[in-house]
Amino acid sequence: MKLEHPITLQPSKFTGPDNKVVTPQVLTLDEIDFVYVDHPSQKVYSLATQLIPTSIVLFSDEEYTNNPDITKAQAEAKLLQLANNDLQSFLQNLFPKTLEDEPYGPGSILASMFSMIGIKSTPTCSCRRHALEMNKKGIEWCEENVETICGWLKQECEKRKIPYVDTVAKMVVNRAINKAKKYREAENA
């Protein structure tokens, strides 16, 4: 797909094998190579590209059925419609959020605090997902939902057979929230 104007995308940061945060190179594009994927049995027509780790569903279910012979031009027009003619923002939002993207969010700070004492996120735990949720919902939400966050911690402690003490959990969660507040205040000063 040839673009009218070049767009710039910043892939998500991540922690490398050496435990250092890696900031991938910014991508400036004037063309995007899409793979057009038709799944008749699932009634889904989507786009994929090597640049973005998720596919983009363009047509599904009834809309798919009502467009039996989708052309490349129709697919690209639908993409621009979904993007509300702001393809750069639309594609940027398809990159998965990481804790490294917002290192001073309450979830990132809480994860870091646990990591410093040897309790790390694993591929099968919900820690990273909950930390990202805390970052997304923000400091105020976290302050109002300390009990919910502590409930998450309790569940994970039970899975890992780690002793759970409610008062300690609340203290750690509140400490992470307060650190996030201080970073935000320093940033806005």
> Among residues 58, 92, 126, which one ends one of the domains?
92
- Interhelix angle 166-188/106-116, nearest 10 degrees: 130
Nearest C-alpha neighbor of 168 from the set 113, 118, 98, 92: 113
> Among residues 92, 124, 151, which one ends one of the domains?
92
- HEC secondary structure over 35-83: EEEEECCCCEEEEEECCEEEEEEEEEHHHHHCCCCCCHHHHHHHHHHHC
Q: Which residue has the tokens 């640049």?
A: 51
Q: What is the DSSP string of 133-169?
A: HHHHHHHHHHHHTHHHHHHHHHHHHHHHT----HHHH
Residues of the chain with pLDDT > 70: what percent?
100
Q: How many domains does the chain have?
A: 2
Is residue 179 predicted with pLDDT exceeding 90? yes
pLDDT tens digits, one per residue of 20-47: 889 999 999 999 999 999 999 999 999 9
Q: Confidence band (pLDDT; 50, 70, 90) for 16?
A: confident
| pLDDT score, position 91 | 95
| pLDDT score, position 120 | 86
| pLDDT score, position 75 | 94
> Is the domain of 167 the same as that of 121?
yes
**Domain limits for position 113:** 99-188
| pLDDT score, position 36 | 94
Nearest C-alpha neighbor of 138 from the set 163, 107, 114: 107
> Is the domain of 171 the same as that of 141?
yes
> Among residues 92, 111, 134, which one ends one of the domains?
92
> Is the domain of 22 the same as that of 83?
yes
Mean pLDDT of the chain: 93
| pLDDT score, position 124 | 77
> Is the domain of 65 the same as that of 107?
no
If you count DSSP H runs as helices and E runs as strands, how many of each does the chain have, helices first?
7, 7
> Is the domain of 107 the same as that of 88?
no
C-alpha–C-alpha distance, residues 184 and 189, integer Å = 9
> Is the domain of 6 the same as that of 65?
yes
